Structures are given as C-alpha cells and as structure tokens.
Chain A
C-alpha cells in the first residue's frame, strides 16, 4: 500500500500545483481547449524540459472542475470529432491571478536564495 502510493505521490506532488496553474494559464491565454490541446500547448512551451505524463492533465482538469475554476462543454474538434472543451471561469481567472502572484513571489524568493548560496 505504502509503496504504490509513494511513487505516485512523488510524481504528482511536484507537479500538482504547478500543473494546475499551467492548465489555467493555457486556458486563459488560448481560450477553450480540449485535453489534447492543453497537453500539446504545455509540451510546446516547455520543450524538452518537462516530461509530462499526459494523463495527469485529466486529473488536473477534474480537480479544477470540482473547484469550479474551469467549465467543460462538449463540442466538435477541428476534424469534426466530438470532444470535451474546457474553458476558464471567472473565479478561475481570479485564482489564476492569485496563483501567478504567489508563484512569482516564491520564484523570486527561491531565486534570491539560490543566488545567496552561490555567493556563500
């Protein structure tokens, strides 16, 4: 029990908050997208830096949906297939602003910290 949980936890814990933030940002920037589209966008932006199990995007989407930060709707894809489209909600935008600010602050702190260490 403990073993199976651990491996999963390590992966997602690093990513969870960050991934949620990225998904929100993608939806904010590009408008309504389906899961595949979101995965592509993240891949495109991150290049080879981030190795992502694309399935986890769906976990993130469900989580964001439950919190009412994004909404889902069935629509037709580019090649006219049925697909679920996700869009950011009003409270999702608010959350994004909050998280972005948070992220920048923490990133700033970490940056300074690392610099400090480099000097010392």
Chain B
C-alpha cells in the first residue's frame, strides 16, 4: 500500500521539474545506445550497422519515453489542461454560440436547482429537529371509516401518555389565537398551547432564557410564554432584556421566559404557552367534542413504529371500553411527522412538486439536446481534425475525454448562470408557494445540498452534451470524416441523423410538457369559472376572534356583535353587513346533523350522512352574502331570542331532507335529538338543541372552491343559536359596499375599535382576495408547469431553427446546383421546410403518444378535467406545427438567397 502512495507522490513531484527529468532520461538513453553501439563496433560492425543493431536491441525509444512520461504522471494532467484551455478558447472565439449555449444551459440548470431547492426543503429535509425520523404524529381515527382521521381530545391524550411505554416523550399541542394588547394597536397573535415535553422531544434548546417545565404547566401556575425567534425580532427588536417582561395576552399577564432559535417553528406559531394553564376549558376536558389537540411523540430508540402502533391500539381499545359514549370505534393512528396531514387525501402538493421536478428534468434534457446540437454545428469544421486524430490512433476514449474536457468551461459558465437564475427564480417561487401546504419548518433556500445538486446536474449535462456529438465517432464515421474532409460542403450523414433525432426528441418532450400544462390550465380555468353561488364583488371580510376574558359570557358576545354591526352599517359606502360564523372562505366551518320533526334516531351512526353546514349569522346575512333567496324570507330584526326559532336552508338541503316536499314551515333541528344526548357530552352552555322552523330557501353557495365538505347548509340567527362562547366567539364580518371594498377597511376598523379598542383582526381581506388566495396551490402548479412548458417550447423551436439553419449552410452547394439547374424559390423553400416539418411531425407523434400515457401521473392535480381530455391534445396538435413552420421558414428563406455562382465557386 505504502509504495503505491510513494509512486503517487513521485508522480506529483514529476509534475514539476518535468523538463529536467526528460532531458536526463534522454541523456541516459543516449549513453546506453552509444555503449551498445561501441560494443557492436568492437565486434566488427560498421558504425551504421552498429547504431542500427543497438536501437534494435534497445527497443522502441518513443514508446519508452511516452511510457515513462506517463508513469511520471505528466501526460494526463498536461493534456487535461490542454483540452480545458482549448475549450475556453473556443468559447471566446464563438461568442454567439457561447451566449446561446450558456443561456440554454442556465435555463435548464436554473429551473432544476430552484425546483430541487423546494423539493429538498419541503419533501426531503423539512425538519430541523435532531433525529426527526423518531418523531411521530399521533391522531385518532374512526375504525369504521379509516380515512376519517381527527386530532386527539386532550383527556384521551392524557390517558395515552399515562399508559404508553413506546415513546420517550409525548406532547400535546393546540392552536390558540391571542390578542396582544398594551401597545399602540391590538395585535392578533398565532399561538399554541403545548405540553412542556415538546421541548425535550424536539431536542432544540432555547436561544435565550428557558422553556416550560411541569411547574409551569399546572392550572394555577403563574402564566409564562416562550417566543419564536421571528416574533422576538419583530415585536422586541431582538433585545435580550425581553426575558422577564410581561405580555398582555387576552387580557392576562404572561411572563416571557424564553426565546427559541430561528429554526424552531413547532406548530407554525409565533408564541407558545403551557397547555396545563387551560386544563379546565371545555376543549381540555371534553372527551368527545373538540378533538382539536394535536399529539406528537418521540419513539424510544429501540421501538419501531409498528410496536408503538400495536401498543397505542391496545390503549385505544381499553379506553373505548372505559368510555364507550365518546371512544367507541376510535383507534389511534401513528404516522411519521412528514406524513402528517397526508391522511386527509392525496397529498397533491407533494405530487405537484414531483411533477414539476419531472418537468424541469425534461426541460434540462431539451436544453442538453440543444447544446449538443450547437456543439455539433460549432465543431463541424473539426470533424476532419477528429477523424484524422482517430485515424492516427487516438483511442475513442481519448477523443471522448477530449470532448468532455473541452465542454467543461461551457458547463462552468452554464452552471454559474443557472445558479444566478435559480436564485431569482426561487424568489418568484417563494411568492407562489402555498405556505399552508408545507411544514412551517421548511426553509426554502439554495443550500449546500442544492449546490451539490447543481454541480451534479451540471456535470451530468456536460456529459450528455459532449457525448452526444461524440456518437459520430462510431465505427466507420472516422473514415467518413476523412473522406469528406476535402469537401466541406457535404455534411457527414451520421451527424445529420443524430441532429435530426435530437430535434425529434426535443419536440416530443416539449409536447409532453405542453399537454401537461394545457390540462392544468384547463383545470385552473374551470376552477375560476366555478359558480360560487354568491356575489363576490365589493365584499369586504374581516375575521374576528373574541377569545379574551371580556367575552366569557354569550351575552357579552351578543352585545358586541349587535353594537359593532350597528356602527358598521352606518359607515358611508356600506350597503349591507352581517356577522357570520361559517362564512365562505373563512376558517370556521361547522357541520351538524339535520333532523326533521317526527324522525326517530336510535344511535349516532344513523346521523352520519345527515351532516349540514351550520352557519350562525347576525344581521342581514342573505343580503350581505348576496346569495339569492328562492323561497320564503330572510332574517329580520324580529328574529330574536324570544321569538320562534327559525332557520333558512339552501337548495341542496331542501332537496336532500325534503325531497318532493314543501319545506317552508317544517320544523328541523340542527344537532342531536334529545334521546341521544348523554350528560357531559356537549360543551358547556348547550343542554339540548331546539326545533327551528324553516322560513326560507336560498341558492346553494360554496364554502370553498375545492374541498367543499358539505353541500347542504343552514343559516341560524345568532340570537337563537346555542349559548356557547366556544361556538360564538369567532366570526367573520361581511361588508357589502357600494364603493371599492378595500377603501373601506380603515373606516370599518375604526368603527369596530370604537366598540372594543383591544380587539385585533385575525384577517382582513376582500372576498376576491380570499378566493384568489384559496387557489394558491393550483396557481403554483399551473403557473410553473406553464412556464416550464413555454421554456420547453422555446428551446425546441430554437433547436429546430438551429438544425435547419445548419442544414442550409451545409447544403448550400447542393442548393446552388439545383438553382443553377432551374429550381424555383418555391422548390428551395419546400426543400428546407419539408425537412423541418417531417422532423416536427415525427416528434409530435411520439410526444402526443407519450403524453397520453404520462398525463395520468398528474390526474390528482386536475379538477373536473380528465387526464386524457382531448382539448389540450388537439390545441397543441394544431398550434405546434404553426410555430414549427415559423422556425422552418426563416432558414428556408435564407436558402433561397443562396447565390448559385458563389455556392459553386466554393467548390
């Protein structure tokens, strides 16, 4: 082993002092030959004969020298540098080529680097926590409907934690919004209540101060809060004296005890408070409702997911026996953190990212084909050089190495430009990325892994680009090159075939991308045309969360809503206004079973398909929403807590629950029948549900464009809704205006703050903005896929143009002869265009067939459009040839400008 190292060291040394070593070696051989020759002379030969004999005995001197130089490690590096230098010189010489090739490579490499950065941050390594693969997400699910996963209820979580042995730590977390007051303006803060175990579980120590312990986690503990790094920076300008300061959250004083490092973004919130402080609340004590608590656990190192699943299933079964009312048929579900959320349906964002990764892969291949073609064209004059080298005995491997090294400088340029492009591309992508669908921890940047990826694809690209042209040196091609060396006009047929094949490939791949993008665009257009069933124009929406101590009683809430609505209505420009719990495109959606008077239900399962969207409204909701009344009346001021309870249902509910009947005047209940209500089952403030008389029917409206949970909906006046703060404390204010709704924001804000100056707004947006935002994931997919398809089209057309231009140059002689023999402009045009169109049509055929098979992969990204929807196929089949024709026409016209005399003279 050691002597190999020595030999290597000697070789490296040999790099220097090369000339001296060569000289010495020559001298040595010289001396040897002389001595040999002298010996032959002594034996009676003539000088000449002796010299000849000496050489024979010595062997091939050149070969020996080469071998020795090789051994000293010179030649390899020497030729390496030579090839690299040559490549760089060629780049400087052919500036036009260099620019086009660099741009082409940069597009391919840049798009890939940018998309890879997203994939890497979102799918491959989103979690900054040490040993993140041990962290599991735990939830409950209905054993009978295994897809129906819900979060845990807190009492169940506590039992799980007490009884389990598989997890080192098990922590609960629940999103809780707070109003932060005491500053100039009240602020809405996204927070989470979490168990203290979350910190050791995630294994990230605080940046400042300390984290919660069990002492902080009791009902009567003094209130403490831990801040996220970002919140600390924005609210406290990153000052370290923040520790020990108090914050007024929901009118309660909390002491800041710690700040977490930037990468700690557990639950995606700004602050964390101990769960135990809220141990008395409904959501912490009710075993059946409010499964709003998330649970995460870190497995013990020697425990597998399967073992943990088995244990938790046993515990869940035990609890089901113990608490049949709430826990019957509920199992425990354990998935790795990265798969959390995926159980609610196909993870379309993951699919979208993978589809985009595939798309940029194709773009890169097209770019490679283009650059390969450009290289062939640029190096056309070198066919002879290379052929001669091959004929003189340069091995194929040597020639390949040469071509590869020569393209390294180009790859370097392309990679660098690609990286710059990726940086600005990533900025665009970050604007488009649907944050809700990615882990809060995901940090989308071009990091070391992304750089490594860039380097990898750059080298891969170089390999493909430089080796494709090298295919020309297949057996016999060298001879071809030699033969044609004397006549530059006649191109090597082999290279022509490769160029044609490359263009066909480019066209085929761009067709696949175009069809994919076409399908997404059609799907997106459909989504935007969906009839939402209400008037989306001039509608301002404000989400409110009245969770502070001021609103502990339902009466206080009602009072606030009434006063706020009165004032908002008097604001100039306001046409109508209403509060709605369950407004379209808000986060509050509730569903309750709808039962009719006279119907008898004996168990909860019978109610499972009767769920109806449940909208509590205050004010003229039907008018404010702008959903047309079909029958009956809307709500009026006469619908109070003392009048007969009423409901307005939508067409879908009328059709489903009153098929063939006249619903007006019929009585319904939204909730459970009295006989199924068990003590302790319902949130505080609700004992049973009252009968409501149906007084109106409205047109169906959508809660969301996508993921509409229930089509059936019912509106209930706030005054007659169940008396529970938990039901009533969040609401959306809808303001229908006669003017531009965005201009009303500050006026409406003032009106609400005149009622409660400490109330922060969770979200203020026009309805149109909400709708726009709701399509963010689809816009992301469609825009990027469209962009990449457009890139592919551009590259393919440039490729086609390039090949035809080159052909025209190569066939100038032939074209000249034809024209001299009487060919018309039309014939020449036809000659070139026919070639281009033939390539295009073959490529299109392959592309359309491939697309037919490949679009199936994105079928989950399409809404209301089949993966083989004929429209995009047809449109592209018709439009692509026109674009191709343009690419063919320009070189063809140049062909007609060939002067026969000049062309023939060049012979």
Interface residues as binary, B17-41 with A (CB distance below 8 Å gives 1, 0 otherwise)? 0000000110111011001100000
**Distance between A75 CB and nearest chain B CB, rounded to angstroms:** 12
Q: Across the interface, which residues of A come within 8 angstroms of B68, CB to CB? A: 58-59, 62
A115 within 8 A of B: no
> From A54, which residue of chain B is reached at the shortest CB distance?
B58
Interface residues as binary, A46-67 with B (CB distance below 8 Å gives 1, 0 otherwise)? 0000000111101100110111
Stretch from B59-67, B326-334, B631-639, B773-781 that touches the partner? B59-67
Interface residues as binary, B200-238 with A (CB distance below 8 Å gives 1, 0 otherwise)? 000000000000000000000000000000000000000
Q: Across the interface, which residues of B come within 8 angstroms of A44, CB to CB? A: none
Task: With A59-B67, A59-B68, A66-B11 as known contacts, state yes or no: A54 contacts B24, CB within 8 Å.
Answer: no
Assess the B32–A66 pair: CB atoms within 8 A: no
**Distance between B225 CB and nearest chain A CB, rounded to angstroms:** 70
Sorting the interface of chain B by its residue count into under 10, 10 to 19, 20 to 34 or 35 or more gives 20 to 34
- Complex: A55 Cα to B24 Cα, angstroms: 15
Q: Across the interface, which residues of B come within 8 angstroms of A34, CB to CB? A: 28, 31
Assess the A66–B24 pair: CB atoms within 8 A: no
Assess the A58–B29 pair: CB atoms within 8 A: yes
- Complex: A65 Cα to B6 Cα, angstroms: 9
Q: Across the interface, which residues of A come within 8 angstroms of B28, CB to CB? A: 34-35, 58, 83-84
Assess the B64–A56 pair: CB atoms within 8 A: yes
**Option from A2, A36, A59, A68 in Cβ contact (under 8 Å) with B71:** A59
B398 within 8 A of A: yes
Assess the B71–A8 pair: CB atoms within 8 A: no
Assess the B58–A67 pair: CB atoms within 8 A: no
Assess the A53–B398 pair: CB atoms within 8 A: no
**Distance between A27 CB and nearest chain B CB, rounded to angstroms:** 16
Task: With A1-B395, A1-B398, A56-B59 as known contacts, state yes or no: A62 contacts B32, CB within 8 Å.
Answer: no
- Complex: A77 Cα to B34 Cα, angstroms: 13
Q: Across the interface, which residues of B come within 8 angstroms of A84, CB to CB? A: 24, 28
> From A63, which residue of chain B is reached at the shortest CB distance?
B71
Assess the B71–A54 pair: CB atoms within 8 A: no
**Distance between A5 CB and nearest chain B CB, rounded to angstroms:** 8
Q: Across the interface, which residues of B come within 8 angstroms of A67, CB to CB? A: 3, 6-7
Task: With A56-B59, A68-B6 as known contacts, state yes or no: A1 contacts B71, CB within 8 Å.
Answer: no
Q: Across the interface, which residues of A come within 8 angstroms of B3, CB to CB? A: 66-69
B424 within 8 A of A: no
Assess the A55–B29 pair: CB atoms within 8 A: yes
Q: Across the interface, which residues of A come within 8 angstroms of B67, CB to CB? A: 8, 59
Assess the B72–A54 pair: CB atoms within 8 A: no
Assess the B32–A35 pair: CB atoms within 8 A: yes
Assess the A55–B31 pair: CB atoms within 8 A: no
- Complex: A36 Cα to B39 Cα, angstroms: 11
Interface residues as binary, B36-54 with A (CB distance below 8 Å gives 1, 0 otherwise)? 1000000000000000000
Assess the A55–B64 pair: CB atoms within 8 A: yes
Q: Across the interface, which residues of A come within 8 angstroms of B396, CB to CB? A: 1
Within 8 A of A (CB), among B147-163: none
Q: Across the interface, which residues of A come within 8 angstroms of B397, CB to CB? A: 1
Q: Across the interface, which residues of A come within 8 angstroms of B394, CB to CB? A: 1
Sorting the interface of chain A by its residue count into under 10, 10 to 19, 20 to 34 or 35 or more gives 20 to 34
Assess the B10–A66 pair: CB atoms within 8 A: yes
A117 within 8 A of B: no
Within 8 A of A (CB), among B96-122: none
Assess the B7–A66 pair: CB atoms within 8 A: yes
Assess the A36–B32 pair: CB atoms within 8 A: yes
Q: Across the interface, which residues of B come within 8 angstroms of A83, CB to CB? A: 28, 31
- Secondary structure call for the B interface: helix
**Distance between A31 CB and nearest chain B CB, rounded to angstroms:** 19
> From A1, which residue of chain B is reached at the shortest CB distance?
B395
Q: Across the interface, which residues of B come within 8 angstroms of A54, CB to CB? A: 32, 36, 57-59
Assess the B61–A55 pair: CB atoms within 8 A: yes
B822 within 8 A of A: no
**Distance between A115 CB and nearest chain B CB, rounded to angstroms:** 35
Assess the A1–B32 pair: CB atoms within 8 A: no
- Complex: A65 Cα to B11 Cα, angstroms: 11
- Complex: A35 Cα to B64 Cα, angstroms: 14
> From B9, which residue of chain A is reached at the shortest CB distance?
A66
Q: Across the interface, which residues of B come within 8 angstroms of A69, CB to CB? A: 3
Q: Across the interface, which residues of B come within 8 angstroms of A4, CB to CB? A: 393
Q: Across the interface, which residues of A come within 8 angstroms of B71, CB to CB? A: 59, 62-63, 66
> From B35, which residue of chain A is reached at the shortest CB distance?
A36
Assess the B395–A2 pair: CB atoms within 8 A: yes
> From B31, which residue of chain A is reached at the shortest CB distance?
A83
Assess the A66–B31 pair: CB atoms within 8 A: no
Q: Across the interface, which residues of B come within 8 angstroms of A53, CB to CB? A: 57-60
Assess the A62–B72 pair: CB atoms within 8 A: yes
Assess the B63–A8 pair: CB atoms within 8 A: yes
> From A69, which residue of chain B is reached at the shortest CB distance?
B3
A26 within 8 A of B: no
Within 8 A of B (CB), among A57-102: 58-59, 62-63, 65-69, 77, 81-84
Q: Across the interface, which residues of A come within 8 angstroms of B31, CB to CB? A: 34, 36, 77, 81-83
- Complex: A45 Cα to B55 Cα, angstroms: 22
- Complex: A8 Cα to B58 Cα, angstroms: 14
> From B67, which residue of chain A is reached at the shortest CB distance?
A59
Interface residues as binary, B385-425 with A (CB distance below 8 Å gives 1, 0 otherwise)? 00000000111111000000000000000000000000000
> From A65, which residue of chain B is reached at the shortest CB distance?
B10
- Complex: A65 Cα to B10 Cα, angstroms: 9
**Option from B10, B58, B393, B398 in Cβ contact (under 8 Å) with A55:** B58
**Distance between A47 CB and nearest chain B CB, rounded to angstroms:** 15
A23 within 8 A of B: no
Q: Across the interface, which residues of B come within 8 angstroms of A2, CB to CB? A: 395
A39 within 8 A of B: yes
- Complex: A5 Cα to B49 Cα, angstroms: 30
- Complex: A34 Cα to B32 Cα, angstroms: 9
- Complex: A56 Cα to B67 Cα, angstroms: 10
> From B32, which residue of chain A is reached at the shortest CB distance?
A36
- Complex: A1 Cα to B393 Cα, angstroms: 6
**Distance between B474 CB and nearest chain A CB, rounded to angstroms:** 15
Assess the A39–B64 pair: CB atoms within 8 A: no
- Complex: A39 Cα to B39 Cα, angstroms: 13
Q: Across the interface, which residues of A come within 8 angstroms of B59, CB to CB? A: 53-56
- Complex: A69 Cα to B4 Cα, angstroms: 12
- Complex: A39 Cα to B67 Cα, angstroms: 19
- Complex: A84 Cα to B32 Cα, angstroms: 11
**Distance between A46 CB and nearest chain B CB, rounded to angstroms:** 14
> From B4, which residue of chain A is reached at the shortest CB distance?
A67
Q: Across the interface, which residues of B come within 8 angstroms of A82, CB to CB? A: 27, 31
> From B399, which residue of chain A is reached at the shortest CB distance?
A1
- Complex: A99 Cα to B110 Cα, angstroms: 57
Assess the A58–B36 pair: CB atoms within 8 A: no
- Complex: A83 Cα to B57 Cα, angstroms: 20
- Complex: A68 Cα to B9 Cα, angstroms: 11
Assess the A58–B395 pair: CB atoms within 8 A: no
Q: Across the interface, which residues of A come within 8 angstroms of B58, CB to CB? A: 53-55
> From B39, which residue of chain A is reached at the shortest CB distance?
A40
Interface residues as binary, A19-40 with B (CB distance below 8 Å gives 1, 0 otherwise)? 0000000000000001110010
> From B28, which residue of chain A is reached at the shortest CB distance?
A84
Q: Across the interface, which residues of A come within 8 angstroms of B35, CB to CB? A: 36
> From B21, which residue of chain A is reached at the shortest CB distance?
A62
Q: Across the interface, which residues of A come within 8 angstroms of B61, CB to CB? A: 55
**Distance between B498 CB and nearest chain A CB, rounded to angstroms:** 23
Q: Across the interface, which residues of A come within 8 angstroms of B27, CB to CB? A: 82
Q: A36-B32, A36-B35, A66-B11 are in contact. List 6 more A-B contacts (CB 8 A).
A: A34-B28, A53-B59, A55-B29, A55-B58, A58-B29, A62-B71
Interface on A for B, CB 8 Å cutoff? 1-2, 4, 8, 34-36, 39, 53-56, 58-59, 62-63, 65-69, 77, 81-84
Which 5 pairs from chain A and chain B are nearest by CB? A1-B395, A53-B59, A55-B59, A66-B10, A67-B3
Interface on B for A, CB 8 Å cutoff? 3, 6-7, 10-11, 24-25, 27-29, 31-32, 35-36, 57-61, 63-64, 67-68, 71-72, 393-398
Name 10 A/B residue pairs within 8 A (Cβ), A-sorted. A2-B395, A35-B32, A39-B32, A54-B36, A58-B25, A66-B71, A67-B6, A68-B6, A82-B27, A83-B28
